Structure 1
């Protein structure tokens, strides 16, 4: 299946890819370097892991694979970066799989609310046959997933009141990532979904453009969203894996020996990221709760889960191949 990109957006990605390439082609050595896209800032678990990955890859390949991680989405947003990776404008990236569904429809299965039973279940699924099959689907679109990172469990937070049942979301405007599944999820719960760039969320919460958003503890902390949205409700509706991905165009240029070394470096970085994530998750939770955030745990999530039935039905109707992955994930112990 050939991907059709909106002309304006694809042009933006190509311009960014060209600009990034031109900025580094000052010598043959620099032109061979791998450019890595990352949305997070210095010190974040994903950032540390990506920097560890390229450093180990450099050492393991005797300098044949070198590179630099560009943090804070300075090379463009994730949609741009996905397209740049596909065309070879950048060579590696750390992606949240949420927005990946536009380019690789099969990946949308991990964006289905409550598809995973918990973090450990997500790790078992992604490290097993399902993860391999999703990586194969991505590879057909020019992106190769070398290892899976932890993206934590996402919950709703807002400015006005605790969310204890779906009824508490009625009429509330929630920022979501740019994916129709998330729009459908919020609407099924009675809220109004507003797709928005991550960088715009803080000010939008502060000024009332949106009433809330949803994310994990570390992101809620590092974005300072807890300063303006002081109610955090533990729905854990999404457990989204992340990936350390490379461009198939760059991957295919490597020798078999270097491919083995680079993949090992990626898997080592995954182990590091998951360990750092677990520690950061605990630290961030303690920090924001100490700040006075009003936290409520939802022990019975059945009302939220039951509300997702139409979301699943529509997802499978739009993309029948998802049923196979849904069954495979739900049957994984």
Structure 2
């Protein structure tokens, strides 16, 4: 009986070994024709602080997809949304060092590396969405991106971020209604001067504190684009928004210069063209989100006021343009020339 048990056990072990060998052979066998089993020559990381379904991340993913397709899988770009690789400031530092290869960031902080980006923060310099994109896609807009190379980064493309508008817990039907209202702004000299020039009281504070400040009356209002007013729930307190479009500040798709330098000329062209081609996808996603936010806000009882003539607004902020404009004359001249 013992011998029979041993013989059965031996047969079982041999059979298992045969199966394992077969599995091993299957795993290491040549891939079937047409299968995508190439190992990437480069695997890069792209950081974004927005959620996975946000328009900028949709643009990031389209960019990564195009690069993968056009290099036949030689270059793979992994997109990390929701600030998985760190906050905006730390990611930028890592992009400069080459530790992170790509990121998407709002244009405003880039003034720290190229002060000419500050021109895009000035109020009412763009008359419309068409005007903005005429400038961004022109030579002067492209030069802003390439000039970032001095700071060990390379700008690849601009993404849409809509326009910023004022919203308040108080009536806000005209420029006159802003006078005396306490408006939250980002900690920026240009933004503080903008609010003061409109007769309101500029109140800098962190974004995360705005909702409670609206609830308690510490501030009367704030300013942002429609999706931000929606996602922040500020509309639960601020029931009026006036569409004055005082700023149209784009997003920027950035690349580490260290990563750029390691690529061949052919791959650089592929990367640049893929970034350019991803813009349309991002803009469509932004337009869709903006329309969804507008409907949600109106359904929630938010009153929209359209500014038909922004001449009084432009006249009020002229001192701000006079104060800062001389430092950005070349960019502002290009913005003027880009008018449709």
Q: TM-score, normalised by structure 2?
A: 0.81
Residue 284 of structure 1 pairs with residue 290 of structure 2: no
Moved more, 97-106 or 54-63: 54-63
Question: For residue 331 of structure 2, what is the aligned residue in structure 1?
Answer: 325
Question: For residue 180 of structure 2, what is the aligned residue in structure 1?
Answer: 171
State the alpha-carbon separation in 2 of the partners of residues 189 and 159 from structure 1. 17
The Cα shift of 1:132 comes to 1.5
Cα RMSD, aligned residues only: 2.3
Moved more, 204-213 or 306-315: 204-213
The Cα shift of 1:164 comes to 1.0
Out of 116, 137, 153, which is 2:163 matched to?
Answer: 153
Out of 43, 52, 57, which is 1:42 matched to?
Answer: 52
Q: Which runs of 5+ in 1 are unaligned?
A: 1-28
SS at match of 1:271: helix
State the alpha-carbon separation in 2 of the partners of residues 230 and 76 from structure 1. 34
Question: For residue 121 of structure 1, what is the aligned residue in structure 2?
Answer: 131
The Cα shift of 1:152 comes to 0.8
Q: TM-score, normalised by structure 1?
A: 0.82
Question: For residue 20 of structure 1, what is the aligned residue in structure 2?
Answer: none
Q: 1:173-213: CA deviations, max 9, x gaps?
A: 32323432112111211223334444443344334443322
Q: 1:238-297: CA deviations, max 9, x gaps?
A: 111211111112111112121111112211211101122222222221221111002211
Q: Residues 295-310 of structure 1: matches in 2 within 5 Å?
A: 295-310=304-319
SS at match of 1:210: coil
CA pair 226-327 structure 1, distance change in 2 beyond 3 A: same
Q: Which runs of 5+ in 2 are unaligned?
A: 1-38
Between the two proteins, the alignment pairs up a number of residues equal to 301
Conservation of the 8 A alpha-carbon contact between 1:176 and 1:194: yes
The Cα shift of 1:140 comes to 1.8
Question: For residue 239 of structure 1, what is the aligned residue in structure 2?
Answer: 248
Q: 1:291-330: CA deviations, max 9, x gaps?
A: 100221122222211121121122135xx2x011111111
Conservation of the 8 A alpha-carbon contact between 2:119 and 2:325: no
State the alpha-carbon separation in 2 of the partners of residues 197 and 74 from structure 1. 21
CA pair 200-74 structure 1, distance change in 2 beyond 3 A: farther
SS at match of 1:264: helix
CA pair 192-77 structure 1, distance change in 2 beyond 3 A: farther
Question: For residue 182 of structure 1, what is the aligned residue in structure 2?
Answer: 191
Of structures 1 and 2, the larger Rg is shown by: 2
The Cα shift of 1:127 comes to 0.6
Out of 262, 273, 284, which is 1:253 matched to?
Answer: 262
Conservation of the 8 A alpha-carbon contact between 1:170 and 1:189: yes
SS at match of 2:171: coil
State the alpha-carbon separation in 2 of the partners of residues 268 and 66 from structure 1. 17
